[in-house]
Chains A and B, each alone.
Chain A
Amino acid sequence: MTELGQIWRVACYEWFDALRSRRALVVLLLYMAAAVCNMHWSINLLHKLENELVTVLQLPPSEHAGVVSTTLWKSKPFQRMMKQMTQNDLVLQDITGKHPVELIYAWFAFFYTPLLVVLVAGSRIAEDLGSGAVRYMIFRISRSSWTLGKFIGQALMIGFALVLSSLGAYAVAKYRLAGSGTPDLFLNMVQWSVRAWIFSFPYLGLAMGLSLLTKSASKATVMGIIAITVCFVVSILLHHFTGDTGWRAYLPYLGLLVPDEHKMYMWRNSLAPLVTGTTYLIALGFCYLLTGYAFFRHRDT
């Protein structure tokens, strides 16, 4: 078996084993439930807005919920509001053509994926280091193959969780919102889950890189949560302080290391920014992982 074959074997076993792990399974189901609930509540909110609009404008009530929401979505005042929220004309252009359900799901997936990653994958390596299970592996394969295999296995697990959550969210939308049961919408939502999956790579690298530093599973999870919080805060600070002169002009370079700074690429429609974002995010994930591996490579197990 080649080194690549070994990595793939470890990855498949890791995925399979993670699915059997009750903790990971519970987190995965919770995430799916959260996606479903988020969609359900968001549709409730849309309905409420719709009813208020109907009352204010003294229109005859629509028999199909969601019709007014779609009109609202395309209205100029609403788009102005969205422009202020995104602060990016290109992103705004791309997302205003989307179905609201897609965007509700995409917002959920992008916002909660880092947390899902830390809770599912953050402790997997530390658990093996703490229990000593790693010792049954690293005389059979190299430490690098083992680490990479675990990383890919967890990436598959996260991908699986995201696709499941998109299916759950689509099912809710289909039954609760008029005109939401189209195959196109279904495919678009799966596509958003794939984009969120790519966005999860740097967080996965960060969580697993940190996990290589400790033998305590709970410590690894806490370190992961702190790390994603720091990333989030740094991203906000970068937006606040970035300027054109002096040290402020250099802040965007720091932004290259923060996953959130590459998120907007994943909201775009055209291929070029998507490829750029994907490359950045995956490279960043491997950079974080390699930093942890550099320590693990020489550590006593």
Chain B
Amino acid sequence: MNSEHAIVTTDLVKRYGARRALDGFTLAVPTYAVLGLVGPNGAGKTTWMMSVAGFLRATSGTINLLGNGPFDAAVHRGRISILPQDSELPLESRPLELLAHYGLLQGLTRREAERSAQAMLTEVHLGDRLNSPIRTLSHGMRKRVMIAQCFIGYPEVVLLDEPLSGLDPREVARMRDFLARRRGRQTIVISSHNLHDIELICDHVAFVETGRAVRVATLEEVVGTGSTLVYALTALPEDTAKVAEAAPDLSLSWTDDPCGLVCRYDPRQTTPAEVNALILPALLAQSGVVRVAQGSDLETEYLEGRVLKRDPRA
């Protein structure tokens, strides 16, 4: 992959009768990024993924996948994979033979396909169920087979629609690690309603509302990892003005549930240590500081609507 963006969609429209599921969806996914799609139900995340994978025919707009235009099996075979939502695997098949079959179709040799299938199934902790019929697997196990099939043959682009839903907490943690390890090696797009997962796995986030991508940014930009310090407090100080006086050049905002202070600074002019040196004494004089964290969290930023306000296009 030489191009800067693995997927570029421009003004993508998908209409179902009068309803527009995608309404000018413009998004460029940087190559080797792990991008999270965040948005309410019906915003168009799944429709966008299905359009990119060639399952849905867009009404208008353009798709450029890996610099070779819209999806074409002859061109993109083995270079893209998808975990579609609400799609069952063939129930009578066995995971190992099915994944090897998929690998062969992608252009792998039999040996490569079998090796890749076995490795992926072991990676998702199904090494002991390689030859069990899929109908005998639990929902979570089937989901893991579905995830494993996405990574057969190491495709350049992987689209995952709600990959972690239905998994038990231990598997969720393992899958998060597995996906996070793909950062910088494959281009991955993940659609999820669990913002905590997105935060742990992704390095980019796209916010989707009513069929459009309203903001695309790095996770760092969204949660302010390099420009925000968040202080968790035992109680709000009685005299907040005094704290503000201690750091007149910083932007401070107070939260009361839970009690805390969000301090934004310009990383080009100051460092977190310098900010702490100004703020902490003033805070400790009036209140207890439980924890200091770099940056906010995605869920707070999203629920309080700050992620969209900061974008001039929003």
What residues make up the interface of A, taking CB atoms closer than 8 Å to B?
1, 6, 9-10, 13, 17, 20-21, 128, 131-133, 135-143, 145, 298, 300-301
Contact = CB atoms under 8 A, between A and B. Distances in A.
A17 B97 CA distance: 11
A11 to B, nearest CB: 12
A20 to B, nearest CB: 4
Contacts, number: 71
Contacts of A136: 84, 87, 89, 102, 146, 149
Nearest to A3: B74
Contact of A140 (B84, B87, B102): B102
Nearest to A149: B105
B78 interface: yes
A1 B110 CA distance: 11
Nearest to B101: A13
A9 B80 CA distance: 20
B12 to A, nearest CB: 14
A13 B81 CA distance: 20
A9 B105 contact: yes
A142 B71 CA distance: 10
B258 interface: no
B77 interface: yes
Nearest to A137: B105
Top 3 nearest A-B pairs (CB, nearest first) are A132-B87, A142-B73, A131-B88
Given A6-B105, A10-B105, A13-B101, A139 B54 contact: yes
A138 B55 contact: yes
Contacts of A142: 73-74
A132 B86 contact: yes
Contact of B104 (A1, A135, A143, A298): A1
A140 B105 contact: yes
B120 to A, nearest CB: 14
A21 B107 CA distance: 27
22 contacts: A1-B105, A1-B107, A9-B104, A9-B105, A17-B92, A21-B92, A132-B88, A133-B87, A133-B89, A135-B84, A136-B84, A136-B89, A136-B146, A137-B105, A138-B73, A139-B55, A139-B76, A139-B80, A142-B73, A142-B74, A143-B73, A145-B73
